[in-house]
Amino acid sequence: MPTAKAGKKRPTAAPPRPRRSGRPRDPDADRSIIDATLDLIAEQGFDGVRVADVADRAGVAKTTMYRRWPSKTHLVVAALRAAPPLDPIDTGSVDEDLRTLLTQFIGITETVPLVGLLASLAAERQKEPRLAQEMDDYVLERMRPVAEALERGVERGELPAEADLDLMAGMLGGAVVLRLFFGGATDAGTVDRLVDMVLRSAQPPGTNARESSERA
């Protein structure tokens, strides 16, 4: 009896190809764009910056930029975030911590047009609630080492528990930014006097801020 012919083996279906998630971002292109943005802001100010000019200087297409940042304002916020953060520090003294942090901040502004960026965006934030939120988050994040230094001052007894730490941080940062923007002195002596004044403002009448710090 003849045997039945074996049926042909059906080919195995090829596995589905993974979906492409798009071209990954080029970190070198991002850095070139941020650097070009900072250069143009330093030369022309916020209003003088054009996306086409940034793209031309960075050597990228405008479409590349718009894929990353939907507007000039968002691009400038990205440039703001590219500025180096403050390095957290704990010397054991709130007085010395604050002096060191303010000196760090002044040094950063000498390499990045940070104050000019903040001033330009301050006007723009009134028009864009999303930008306002991004700037608030940025300031809170960058001022964290100052806030932590003040919190440690309370924990060590250098500052009273009822001290308004948010107000003190604002006084320190705001005073430095104002002097940098309007050309006031920001040398070591100015930083010393500013820190003394802010710490003294948190103490009960008749208490010397530096003596309180040293006793703690």
- Residue 82: CB atoms within 10 A of its CB come to 17
Is there a contact between 77 and 59 (Cβ–Cβ < 8 Å)?
no
Contact 90, 108 (CB under 8 A): no
Measured N-to-C along each axis, helices 94-109 and 165-182 cross at an angle, to the nearest 10 degrees, of 30
The pLDDT tens digits of the residues spanning 162-173 come to: 999 999 999 999
At residue 31, does pLDDT exceed 70?
yes
**Average pLDDT of span 9-27:** 51
pLDDT at residue 3 greater than cutoff 50: no
Q: Taking all residues of the chain, what is their mean pLDDT, rounded to a whole number?
A: 82
| The predicted structure's pLDDT at residue 211 | 53
Torsion of CA 146, 86, 91, 216, to 10 degrees: 0
Q: What per-residue confidence (pLDDT) applies to 7?
A: 47
Query: What percentage of residues in the chain have a pLDDT greater than 90?
Result: 41
pLDDT per residue as tens digits for the range 74-127 = 888 888 888 889 999 999 999 999 999 999 999 988 877 777 777 777 777 887
Contacts of 138 (CB under 8 A, 6+ apart): 77, 80, 81
Return d(Cα 52, Cα 27) in angstroms, integer.
20
Cα 153 to Cα 148, 157, 171, 210, 216: the distances in Å are: 9, 6, 16, 12, 9
Q: Across residues 43-61, what is the average pLDDT?
A: 87
With a cut of 50, say whether residue 20 has pLDDT above it.
Answer: no
| Count of residues in the chain | 216
Answer yes or no: are the C-beta atoms of 83 and 104 closer than 8 Å. Answer: no
pLDDT tens-digit map of 162-208: 999 999 999 999 999 889 888 888 999 999 999 999 999 998 776 65
Q: In terms of Cα–Cα distance, which of 117, 137, 135 is closest to 127?
A: 135
pLDDT at 68 over 50: yes
pLDDT digits (tens, 9 = 90+) for 107-121: 988 877 777 777 777
